[in-house]
């Protein structure tokens, strides 16, 4: 089993450090790491360090740094503009997309989104996505934590502004994502609609902005799984997998 990963604001500069706070509590009291066991510290921006526990307390660990590594950011980046979904479906999508390698997720206030992120409610909903992405990155041992864009969400016009050369998952599309040309660098932006799908005006706006409607296959996937399936396909085509 691979060593557990814990996220820190910044990697230690010396040969020893203390892991405390929420991550230290989780390591010492929840995962019950013991002296001699190894773990990974990551800053969520590509930097990581392998460390060994030298002493434990109720809510912290003393660590010896063994190795350090910096990983270059993926290129092209994988960006999903995700239609806001009701209930926990949005969080399920964020969790799974993080596990399969998404680099940025942008909450989109689609016309058919049942849930509406407004004022304080919107800020809290966005923070749930941020927390979900963070925990999923730890579970997947990712040294990059996906960015959650939006403030707290984006409009159709704002989404269209990022879609030159991007793609829109749509059940009536004739092009297949498995066969379209992909850029060698920059970012690949993919739109995933909410439960009710993408309406004709939104699709027209995205196409006018330079996006290509695509489909995965003959079946129609839920909003919580469509992005995951598409990212898995893209990860294979880009040799990430």
For the segment 33-38, the average pLDDT, to the nearest whole number, is: 96
Residues 6+ apart with CB under 8 A from 203: 168, 170, 213
pLDDT digit string, tens, across residues 90-119:
999 999 999 999 999 999 999 998 888 887
- Can you give the pLDDT at residue 86? 86
Q: What does the alpha-carbon distance between residue 216 and residue 232 come to, in Å, rounded to a whole number?
A: 11
Choosing from 51, 70, 89, the residue where a domain stops is 70
Choosing from 70, 101, 127, the residue where a domain stops is 70
- Can you give the pLDDT at residue 173? 94
Number of domains in the chain: 2
Q: What does the alpha-carbon distance between residue 6 and residue 42 come to, in Å, rounded to a whole number?
A: 6
Token look-up 């929420």 returns 22
- Do both 65 and 88 map to the same domain? no
- Do both 217 and 120 map to the same domain? yes
- Do both 44 and 13 map to the same domain? yes
- Do both 107 and 21 map to the same domain? no
- Do both 217 and 134 map to the same domain? yes
- Can you give the pLDDT at residue 151? 80
CATH for 168: 3.40.1280.10
Residue 122's domain comprises 77-238
Has residue 1 got a pLDDT over 80?
no
Has residue 228 got a pLDDT over 80?
yes
Least confident stretch, 33-47, 108-122, 135-149: 108-122
Mean per-residue pLDDT of the chain: 94
Q: Using only C-alpha atoms, what is the Rg of the chain?
A: 20
Token look-up 């999923």 returns 136
- Do both 115 and 174 map to the same domain? yes
Contact of 216 with 86, CB cutoff 8 Å: no
pLDDT digit string, tens, across residues 76-88:
999 999 999 888 8
Percentage with pLDDT > 90 across the chain:
88
Choosing from 18, 52, 70, the residue where a domain stops is 70
- Can you give the pLDDT at residue 118? 81
- Do both 217 and 160 map to the same domain? yes
Percentage with pLDDT > 70 across the chain:
100
């Amino acid at each position: 089993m691979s060593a557990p990963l814990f996220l820190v604001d910044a990697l230690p500069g010396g040969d020893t450090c203390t892991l405390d706070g929420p991550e230290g509590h989780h390591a010492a009291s929840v995962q019950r790491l013991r002296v001699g066991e190894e773990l990974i510290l990551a800053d969520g921006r590509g930097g990581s360090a392998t460390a060994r526990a030298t002493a434990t307390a109720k809510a912290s660990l003393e660590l010896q740094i063994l190795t350090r590594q910096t990983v270059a950011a993926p290129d092209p980046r994988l960006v999903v503009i995700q239609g806001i979904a009701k209930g926990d479906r949005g969080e399920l999508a964020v969790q799974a997309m993080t596990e399969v390698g998404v680099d940025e997720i942008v909450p989109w206030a689609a016309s058919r989104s049942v849930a509406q992120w407004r004022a304080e409610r919107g800020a809290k909903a966005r923070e749930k996505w941020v927390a979900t992405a963070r925990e999923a990155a730890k579970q997947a041992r990712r040294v990059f934590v996906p960015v959650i864009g939006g403030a707290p969400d984006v409009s159709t016009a704002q989404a269209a502004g990022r879609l030159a050369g991007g793609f829109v998952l749509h059940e009536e599309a004739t092009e297949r994502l498995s066969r379209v040309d992909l850029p060698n660098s920059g970012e690949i932006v993919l739109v995933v609609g909410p439960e009710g799908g993408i309406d004709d005006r939104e699709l027209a706006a995205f196409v006018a902005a330079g996006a290509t409607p695509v489909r995965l296959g003959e079946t129609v996937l839920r909003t919580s799984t469509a992005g995951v399936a598409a990212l898995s396909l893209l990860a294979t085509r880009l040799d990430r997998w």
